[in-house]
Amino acid sequence: MTMGNDMSPLFQEVIACMGIPDLEVKKMVYLFLINYARARAEIANLAVNGFEDDVNDPNPLVRAMAIRTMGYIYVERVIESLIDPLRHCLRDRDPYVRKTAAMAVLKLSMFDRSLVEEERFLDMLKDLLADGNPSVVANAVAALTEISERSPHIKLKLNMKIANKLITALNECNEWGQIYILESLMYVVPQDSSDAETIMERIMPRLQHGNSGVVLVAIKVIAYMMNYVSQVDTLEPILRKLSPPLVTLLASGPEVQYITLRNIQLLLQRWPTILQNQLRAFFCKYDDPIYVKLAKLEVILSLTTEENARVVLTELAEYATEIDVDFVRKAVRSIGRIAIKIELAADRCVRALLDLIQTKVNYVVQEAIVVIRDIFRKYPNRYESIIGTLCENLDSLDEPEARAAMIWIIGQYADRIDNSDVVLGTFLESFLDDTAEVQLALLTAIVKLFIMRPTAGQDLVPKVLKWATEDVDSPDIRDRGFIYWRLLSTDPEMARTVVLSDKPEITAEGERLDMPLLEELLLQVGTLSSIYRKPPSTFIPFAKKRFLGMSPALTRLTIAAPPVSRLPRTISSAMSQPAAKPATPQAPDMPPALATPRSSNTQLTSSALDISSGAVGGMSNPYINDYTPGPMAGNDAVLIDLMSMEDDEDAVDGGGAAINSGGMVGFNANFGMSGMNLASMDPSSIAGAASQSSMPSSQQVLNSAFDAAGLDALSNMPTSASSLNRPSSNRSPMPDLMRQFTSSFDLSGASSGVLSGGSQTANGSSQLDPFQQQQTAFQQRQLQSAAFSLSAPATSVSGGHLGPSAFPAALSPTSTFFGANSASPFNNPAPFSPLAQSHNSNLTPNSAPPAIRNTESSSTLTATSHTTSKPDNSAALSREVDELAAKMYNTGMLNSFSNNGGYTANASATVPYVPSQKVLLDAAQTQGLEILGTFARRNGSIQMEMSFVNKSGMSIGDFAIQFNKNTYGITPSGSLNAGTVMPMSSVEVGLPLVTGGPTMEMQPLTNIQIAVKCTAGIFYFQTQYSLHILLEESGQSDQGMFLRMWKDMPENMQSSHTAQNLRFASMEDMRNKLNMNSVFTVAQRSFGNATHFYTSSKLCDGSMFYSEIKVANNFQAAIIVTKSINTRLIPLYQKAIEDICTAF
Partner 1 sequence: MLSAVFIYNQKGEVLISRLYRHDVKRSVADVFRVHVISSPTSVIRSPVTTLGSTSFYHIRYDNLWLCAVTKNNASAAMVFEFLYRLLGLGVSYFGRFDEESVKNNFVLIYELLDEVLDFGYPQNIEVDTLKLYVTTESVRSSARGGLQSDVVTGIPHSITMQATGTTTWRRNDIVYKKNEAFVDVIESVNLIMSAKGTVLRADVQGQIVMRSFLSGMPECKFGLNDKLVLDRDPAAGNTTVASSQMGRRQGGMSGMGDGESVEIADCQFHQCVRLGRFDTDRTISFIPPDGEFELMRYRTTENVNLPFKVLPVVREMGKTRIEYEVLIKSNFSAKLSATNMVVTIPTPPNATKCRIKVTGSGAGKAKYNPEENAIVWRISRFQGLQELALTAVVDLTPMTKPVAWSRPPIALDFQVLMFTASGLLVRFLKVFEKSNYQSVKWVRYMTKAGSYEIRI
The footprint of partner 1 on residues 78-97 (CB under 8 A) is 94-97
Q: Which is nearer to partner 1, 172 or 988 (CB)?
A: 172
* Contacting range for partner 1; rule: CB under 8 A; set: 240-248, 446-454, 652-660, 1092-1100: 240-248
Contacts of partner 1 in 345-384 (CB under 8 A): 359, 361
* Contacting range for partner 1; rule: CB under 8 A; set: 315-323, 430-438, 672-680, 957-965: 315-323
Contacts of partner 1 in 1063-1102 (CB under 8 A): none
Q: Which is nearer to partner 1, 141 or 615 (CB)?
A: 141
CA distance linking residue 479 with residue 778, whole number of Å: 12
**Cβ atoms within 10 A of the Cβ of 347, count?**
13
Contacts of partner 1 in 884-923 (CB under 8 A): none
Residue type, 243: S
Contacts of partner 1 in 513-572 (CB under 8 A): 524, 526-532, 536, 539-543
Contacts of partner 1 in 29-48 (CB under 8 A): 30-31, 34-35, 38
Contacts of partner 1 in 633-652 (CB under 8 A): none
Q: How far is the CB of 538 from partner 1 (least distance, A)?
A: 10
Contacts of partner 1 in 682-741 (CB under 8 A): none
Burial class (CB in 10 A: 0-12, 13-18, 19+), 873: middle
Q: Which is nearer to partner 1, 13 or 24 (CB)?
A: 24
Q: How far is the CB of 74 from partner 1 (least distance, A)?
A: 6
Q: How far is the CB of 245 from partner 1 (least distance, A)?
A: 6
**Largest Cα–Cα distance of the chain, in whole Å?**
104
Among 11, 51, 121, 180, binds partner 1 (CB under 8 A): 180
Q: Which is nearer to partner 1, 55 or 579 (CB)?
A: 55
User: Do 1044 and 673 contact (CB within 8 A), yes or no?
Assistant: no
Distance between terminal CA atoms of the chain? 78
Alpha helices per DSSP H over 392-474: 400-412, 420-429, 436-452, 454-457, 460-466
Alpha helices per DSSP H over 682-733: 683-687, 694-705, 709-715, 720-725
* 212 is an interface residue for partner 1 by CB under 8 A: yes
Q: How far is the CB of 242 from partner 1 (least distance, A)?
A: 11
Q: How far is the CB of 778 from partner 1 (least distance, A)?
A: 47
* Contacting range for partner 1; rule: CB under 8 A; set: 98-106, 344-352, 369-377, 947-955: 98-106
* 1110 is an interface residue for partner 1 by CB under 8 A: no
Q: Measuring CA to CA, which residue among 738, 743, 749 is closest to residue 783?
A: 738
User: Do 219 and 235 contact (CB within 8 A), yes or no?
Assistant: no
* Contacting range for partner 1; rule: CB under 8 A; set: 283-291, 857-865, 1025-1033, 1094-1102: 283-291
Structural element, H or E, at residue 135: helix 134-150
The secondary structure of 360-398 as a DSSP string is: --HHHHHHHHHHHHHHHHHSTTTSGGGHHHHHTTGGG--
Q: What is the CA radius of gyration of the chain?
A: 34
User: Do 809 and 577 contact (CB within 8 A), yes or no?
Assistant: yes
Among 52, 123, 127, 172, binds partner 1 (CB under 8 A): 172
Q: How far is the CB of 83 from partner 1 (least distance, A)?
A: 17
Q: Give the SS3 label for residue 154.
A: coil
Q: Which is nearer to partner 1, 205 or 563 (CB)?
A: 205
Q: How far is the CB of 48 from partner 1 (least distance, A)?
A: 19
Contacts of partner 1 in 776-805 (CB under 8 A): none
Q: How far is the CB of 252 from partner 1 (least distance, A)?
A: 8
Q: How far is the CB of 492 from partner 1 (least distance, A)?
A: 49
Q: Which is nearer to partner 1, 190 or 526 (CB)?
A: 526
Q: How far is the CB of 441 from partner 1 (least distance, A)?
A: 29
* Contacting range for partner 1; rule: CB under 8 A; set: 314-322, 378-386, 462-470, 1127-1135: 314-322
**Strand residue runs (E) in 818-955:** 918-921, 929-938, 941-950
Q: Which is nearer to partner 1, 318 or 1033 (CB)?
A: 318
Look up residue 503 and give its DSSP letter: P
Q: Is the dihedral of CA 766, 767, 769, 775 positive or negative?
A: positive
* 171 is an interface residue for partner 1 by CB under 8 A: yes
Contacts of partner 1 in 386-405 (CB under 8 A): none
Among 7, 10, 16, 23, binds partner 1 (CB under 8 A): 23
Q: Which is nearer to partner 1, 286 or 1144 (CB)?
A: 286
Q: Give the SS3 label for residue 71.
A: helix
* 458 is an interface residue for partner 1 by CB under 8 A: no
Region for 1000 from its dihedrals, namely left if φ exceeds 0, alpha if ψ lies in -120 to 50, beta otherwise: beta
* 681 is an interface residue for partner 1 by CB under 8 A: no
CA distance linking residue 560 with residue 223, whole number of Å: 15
* 286 is an interface residue for partner 1 by CB under 8 A: yes
* Contacting range for partner 1; rule: CB under 8 A; set: 154-162, 179-187, 370-378, 861-869: 179-187
Contacts of partner 1 in 107-146 (CB under 8 A): 107, 110, 133-136, 139, 142, 146
User: Do 1052 and 686 contact (CB within 8 A), yes or no?
Assistant: yes
Q: Measuring CA to CA, which residue among 510, 512, 501 is closest to residue 380?
A: 501
Contacts of partner 1 in 324-343 (CB under 8 A): 324
# chain residues binding partner 1, by CB under 8 A: 107
Among 84, 91, 120, 244, binds partner 1 (CB under 8 A): 244
Look up residue 938 and give its DSSP letter: E
Supply the angle between the helices 121-128 and 95-111 in degrees, to the nearest 10: 140
* 215 is an interface residue for partner 1 by CB under 8 A: yes
* 179 is an interface residue for partner 1 by CB under 8 A: yes
* 60 is an interface residue for partner 1 by CB under 8 A: yes
Contacts of partner 1 in 736-765 (CB under 8 A): none
Half-sphere exposure of 80 (CA within 13 A, CB side): 8
Q: Which is nearer to partner 1, 251 or 984 (CB)?
A: 251
Q: How far is the CB of 214 from partner 1 (least distance, A)?
A: 8
Write each residue from 247 to 276 as x if it is in contact with partner 1 (CB under 8 A), else as -, in one continuous string. Answer: xx--x-xxxx-xxx----------------
Among 28, 911, 1076, 1090, binds partner 1 (CB under 8 A): 28
CA distance linking residue 697 with residue 382, whole number of Å: 48
Among 54, 117, 183, 520, binds partner 1 (CB under 8 A): 183
Q: How far is CA 950 from CA 56, 695, 926, in A?
A: 88, 35, 10
* 100 is an interface residue for partner 1 by CB under 8 A: yes
Strand order in the sheet with 1007-1014: 960-963, 1007-1014, 1017-1024
* 204 is an interface residue for partner 1 by CB under 8 A: yes
Q: How far is the CB of 240 from partner 1 (least distance, A)?
A: 12
Q: Give the SS3 label for residue 1100.
A: coil
Q: Measuring CA to CA, which residue among 1063, 1055, 1041, 1028 is closest to residue 1136?
A: 1028
**Strand residue runs (E) in 939-1027:** 941-950, 960-963, 971-972, 986-994, 1007-1014, 1017-1024
Q: Kind of pairing, strands 1017-1024 and 1090-1098? A: unpaired
CA distance linking residue 431 with residue 427, whole number of Å: 7
* 217 is an interface residue for partner 1 by CB under 8 A: yes
Among 211, 308, 396, 661, binds partner 1 (CB under 8 A): 211
Structural element, H or E, at residue 238: helix 232-249
Q: Which is nearer to partner 1, 171 or 1060 (CB)?
A: 171
